[in-house]
């Protein structure tokens, strides 16, 4: 018969584990609810490790839904608690999360510093899974810095560890990242090779969420190759899977992708319904970054269709929302995009 202490630990761990599963399923608000409840209860019971890991889980969910401020707020107590109990592996995981936050803010040197600190711990602890994640993240940093060779080098190190450890989900992620690297350097046929390898693994392992992501990437690559019918085929497959899963932010993403392809081939009447459906989802789920993208896309399609007044309303909304985020880089990017769309409409 379990002691009260053991029963309590099981209950607390259940919140953390359920949060992980819900996050993987794309049910972000439910995941946050479980993580918050777990962190609160674990804190009250002085179960510092579980409390810290619930905060780390919260940070990852907030990161994925674009709430960087809340992600940062959640990771700070996680790191403090893990250092207090000398949990080195957990400390390294937190440092990786700090690195990701720095990376999305384009603070790449700071991100590499965090990743370097994490790697030292992972090597000393022989934490191969953590090291694998670090290699992948460092590869992503160099990709953003447009440094093809070091980026590919780190991705290949990560892929090697994926295969050694039999980590099929992570292997598919790395293959997807390598595909994106090739895609961004205009090597689209090589990108498709890696994307299709990733897709095979994701189909075999039943990773529906991953399948949808890779289908989007394949569709985008075919669009760059001007093979628009193939692009739409893969993009619509992605949309169908995401609708089945019920991951609304990703449904909006797929709707935007289909709309963008129709816009590229100047089928504005077909593009607009996809953009409008995406915007409705983002408004309903309060995904502010999604709202910005959708309003920008709608404005672009409408102005090209000659509906300038309606377009300007969406541009104004996109700009107002970008200002609301207090992200100066985002605001600058949105202003530049709006101006470019206005100029393109005059051509």
Q: Judge whether residue 2 has pLDDT over 70.
A: no
Q: What is the reported pLDDT for 270?
A: 95
Residue 67, in any domain of the structure: no
Q: What is the pLDDT of residues 264-323, one digit of tens each?
A: 999 999 999 999 999 999 999 888 988 999 999 999 999 988 899 999 999 999 999 999
Q: What is the reported pLDDT for 7?
A: 65
Residue 324, in any domain of the structure: yes
**Domain of residue 307, residue span:** 265-347
Q: Judge whether residue 167 has pLDDT over 50.
A: yes
Closest CA relative to residue 300, chosen from 263, 256, 346: 263
Q: What is the pLDDT of residues 121-154, one digit of tens each?
A: 999 999 999 999 999 999 999 999 999 999 999 9
Q: What is the reported pLDDT for 14?
A: 85
Residue 336, in any domain of the structure: yes
3-state secondary structure of 185: coil
Q: What is the mean pLDDT of the chain?
A: 92
Residue 344, in any domain of the structure: yes
Q: What is the pLDDT of residues 42-66, one digit of tens each?
A: 998 899 999 999 999 999 999 988 8
Question: Of the given ranges (27-36, 150-159, 338-347), which has the lowest mean pLDDT?
Answer: 338-347
Q: What is the reported pLDDT for 216?
A: 95
Residue 333, in any domain of the structure: yes
User: Is residue 47 within 8 Å of 12, Cβ to Cβ?
Assistant: yes
CATH number, domain with residue 283 = 1.25.40
In residues, how long is the chain? 347
Closest CA relative to residue 22, chosen from 77, 65, 66: 65
Q: Which residue has the tokens 């590869």?
A: 139
Residue 95: pLDDT band (50, 70, 90) is very high
| Contacts with 20 (C-beta within 8 Å, 6 or more apart), sequence order | 31, 57
Higher pLDDT, 1 or 201: 201
Give mean pLDDT, residues 5-16. 74
What share of the chain has pLDDT > 70, as a percent?
A: 97
Closest CA relative to residue 107, chosen from 95, 116, 98, 119: 98
Q: What is the reported pLDDT for 313?
A: 94
Q: For residue 243, give both structure tokens.
A: 């609708």
Total domains in the fold of the chain: 1
Residue 320, in any domain of the structure: yes
Closest CA relative to residue 43, chosen from 30, 31, 56, 54: 54
Q: What is the reported pLDDT for 1?
A: 47
Residue 144, in any domain of the structure: no
Q: What is the reported pLDDT for 48?
A: 92
User: What does the alpha-carbon distance between residue 123 and residue 131 come to, in Å, rounded to a whole number?
Assistant: 7
Residue 50, in any domain of the structure: no
Q: Judge whether residue 8 has pLDDT over 70.
A: no
């Amino acid at each position: 018969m379990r002691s009260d202490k053991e029963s309590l630990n099981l209950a607390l761990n259940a919140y953390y584990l359920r949060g992980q599963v819900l996050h993987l399923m794309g049910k972000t608000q439910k995941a946050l609810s479980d993580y918050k409840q777990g962190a609160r209860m674990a804190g009250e019971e002085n179960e510092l490790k579980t409390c810290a890991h619930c905060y780390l889980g919260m940070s990852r969910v907030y990161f994925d839904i674009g709430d960087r401020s809340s992600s940062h707020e959640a990771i700070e107590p996680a790191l403090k608690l893990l250092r207090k109990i000398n949990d080195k592996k957990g400390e390294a995981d937190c440092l990786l999360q700090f690195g990701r936050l720095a990376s999305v803010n384009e603070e790449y040197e700071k991100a590499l510093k965090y990743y370097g600190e994490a790697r030292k711990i992972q090597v000393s602890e022989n934490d191969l899974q953590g090291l694998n994640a670090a290699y992948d993240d460092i590869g992503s940093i160099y990709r953003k810095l447009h440094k093809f060779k070091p980026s590919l080098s780190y991705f290949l190190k990560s892929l090697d560890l994926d295969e050694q450890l039999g980590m099929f989900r992570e292997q598919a992620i790395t293959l997807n990242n390598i595909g994106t690297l090739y895609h961004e350097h205009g090597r689209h046929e090589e990108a498709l090779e890696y994307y299709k390898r990733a897709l095979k693994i994701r189909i075999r392992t039943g990773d529906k969420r991953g399948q949808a992501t890779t289908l989007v990437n394949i569709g985008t690559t075919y669009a760059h190759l001007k093979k628009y019918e193939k692009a739409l085929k893969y993009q619509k497959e992605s949309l169908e899977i995401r609708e089945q899963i019920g991951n609304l932010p990703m449904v909006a993403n797929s709707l935007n992708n289909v709309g963008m392809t129709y816009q590229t081939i100047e089928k504005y009447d077909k593009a607009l319904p996809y953009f409008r459906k995406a915007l409705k989802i983002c408004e309903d789920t309060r995904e502010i970054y999604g709202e910005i993208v959708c309003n920008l896309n709608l404005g672009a399609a409408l102005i090209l269709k000659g509906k300038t007044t309606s377009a300007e309303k969406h541009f104004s909304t996109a700009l107002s929302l970008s200002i609301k985020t207090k992200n100066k880089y985002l605001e600058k990017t949105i202003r530049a995009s709006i101006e470019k769309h206005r100029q393109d409409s005059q051509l």
